[in-house]
Structure 1
Amino acid sequence: MGIESKLTAKGQTTVPIEVREYLGLGPGDHVRYVLIGDRVELVPRNRPVSSIFGLLADFGVQGTSIEDYKEAVADAVADREAQRAGKPGKDAA
């Protein structure tokens, strides 16, 4: 099911009531647009950081340090940027 909204000449749109209710959005709340491939996700910015506590627990690897995760993310970002530039990434053979 899709919910549509019209874009004005100024690039503005009204977030439909169904979406506002689903995301718990109200007047003055902020949203973030996250670009993912050829689509966009609308992410509410009105929730406290504690609401995501434990969200990624199932993806953790026993014995892996924060530094290991930071290095893995940095490597992935570098590889993605290298691919965009048409160069082989760090893991290329």
Structure 2
Amino acid sequence: MKTKAALDALSALAQPHRLAVHRWLVERAPDGAFAGEIAEHLGVPATTLSFHLKTLQAAGLVRAEPEGRHIRYRAALDTVRGLVAYLTENCCARTGDRCN
């Protein structure tokens, strides 16, 4: 993962509703959920949720997949793994004893 992508992902997650949405979708991986389910679970109005989902999508953290008349949202676990790898890339650069 490049620095710009990592910053975009961290920025998208640095908001309580977006972090909650993403964590909830990670719990439901790989199935994901429809927007109505997410809104109901989090108690967020649909218009507010739509804004947050678009931000998460733009950062590559969520994927939207049409299913009939609805859209299923899924956590992009490959992006999450890339972000974790980026953040821990130099964890043990100096001494190998800190990353057990």
Q: TM-score, structure 1 length as denominator?
A: 0.29
Larger radius of gyration: 1
Higher relative contact order (CA 8 A, sep 6+): 2
Q: 1 or 2, which has the higher helix percentage?
A: 2
Q: TM-score, structure 2 length as denominator?
A: 0.28
